[in-house]
Amino acid sequence: MKHVYGWLLLTPAAILLVGFTHYPAAATLVDSFFSTGTAIRPSRFIGFGNYALLAEDPIFWKVLGNNLWFALGTIPTSIALAILMAVWVNDRLPARALVRMAYFTPTVLPMIAVANIWLFFYTPQIGLVDQFRALFGAPSHNWLGDPGTVLACLMVMVIWKEAGFFMIFYLAALQSLPPELEEAAKIEGASRWHFFRRVMFPLLMPTTLFVLVNATINSFKLVDHLFILTKGGPDNASSLLLYYIYQVAFSFFDTAYASTLTVVLLALLAGLALVQFHLVEKRVHYR
């Protein structure tokens, strides 16, 4: 009887989870082995046909490359900034609460709003960036229209948005460090930098691992800004994997190929998470 009650209690949540998470995930995997069905030609099993197609799809490789550069460009910088800001606002300084809030504000804003703000910054001639450059007589530049600068522009914006979020985790971790540690180090003659490098940073490792995993996942799943800023352009120079999946599925209606791309994305993320846990765990100090 006990089992029945247990299962009854679990059922509502289980239905939702299975219906909206587990079944779609499994269905996606299955769909990736079938062709996209149309009214005339129903879907049929084609084995790894979609994967073969993917291997030869230049846009896929382009987008994957973009995404890797994007991750590489945003994650370390935003983590470094987050630590810097956290250490800074953890100190006794005037209007500390205000500074903390200011750093956290970008996190609260929806990505769509952020993208709209930065759209104004990057607008040629009248945007903030160009206005500022004009002071020094530099020519106007189409920041988001140039394949050479568009990805970097997006990275700067995402760092601006993410760093404050990660700062909160570091701030919490810093506040759990006993203040005697710093005092003991001070008496032993350690400089602030030495203390940071030898004590604070190693003790923040669990937080760093957590933030690293989240940042990696975010760099693959956060694409809202592309809808506002570039739509992946020009010439897919700013397109990311998830945005490409969206395009394939809902603009080109090639659901089978979109499923294939999704499976690849998930495998990639799972692989990255495993590697991170494995590598970093060796150097993480858990109390």
**Residue 147 lies near other proteins (rule: CB under 8 A):** no
Name the β-bridge partners of 45.
Answer: 34
Please name the helix (run of DSSP H) or strand (run of DSSP E) that holds residue 241, with its range, or none: helix 241-250
Q: In 3-state terms, what secondary structure has residue 282?
A: coil
Q: DSSP characters for 78-130?
A: HHHHHHHHHHHHHS--TTHHHHHHHHHHHHHS-HHHHHHHHHHHHSTTTSHHH
Q: SS3 for 125-165, per residue?
A: CCCHHHHHHHHCCCCCCCCCCCCCCHHHHHHHHHHHHHHHH
Give the 3-state secondary structure of residue 40.
coil
Applying CB under 8 A, among 53, 111, 117, 203 the residue interacting with other proteins is: 203
The span of 73-81, 137-145, 181-189, 248-256 binding other proteins (CB under 8 A) equals: 181-189
Give the interface segment with other proteins, choosing from 1-9, 110-118, 157-165, 198-206 (CB under 8 A): 198-206
Q: Which is nearer to other proteins, 200 or 248 (CB)?
A: 200
Nearer to other proteins, 146 or 182 (CB): 182
> Cβ 203 to other proteins, closest distance in Å?
6
Contact flag: residue 188 with other proteins (CB under 8 A): yes
Q: Shortest CA distance to 120 belongs to which of 65, 167, 157?
A: 157
Return left, alpha or beta for 189; rule: phi > 0 is left, psi -120 to 50 is alpha, else beta.
Answer: left
Residues 6+ apart with CB under 8 A from 87: 170, 174, 196, 200
Q: Segment contacting other proteins (CB under 8 A): 119-127, 173-181, 252-260, 266-274? A: 173-181
Shortest Å, Cβ 78 to other proteins? 24
Residues between 228 and 287 that touch other proteins (CB under 8 A):
285, 287
Q: What is the smallest separation between the CB atom of 185 and other proteins, expressed in angstroms?
A: 7
Binding to other proteins by residue 91, rule CB under 8 A? no
186 makes contact with other proteins (CB under 8 A): yes
C-beta closer to other proteins: residue 168 or 203: 203
Of the candidates 55, 61, 176, 183, which one interacts with other proteins according to CB under 8 A?
Answer: 183
C-beta of residue 256 within 8 angstroms of C-beta of residue 31: yes
- Site size toward other proteins, by CB under 8 A: 19
User: Which one of 184, 267, 270, 279 is in contact with other proteins (CB under 8 A)?
Assistant: 184
Binding stretches for other proteins (CB under 8 A): 178, 180-181, 183-191, 194, 198-199, 202-203, 285, 287
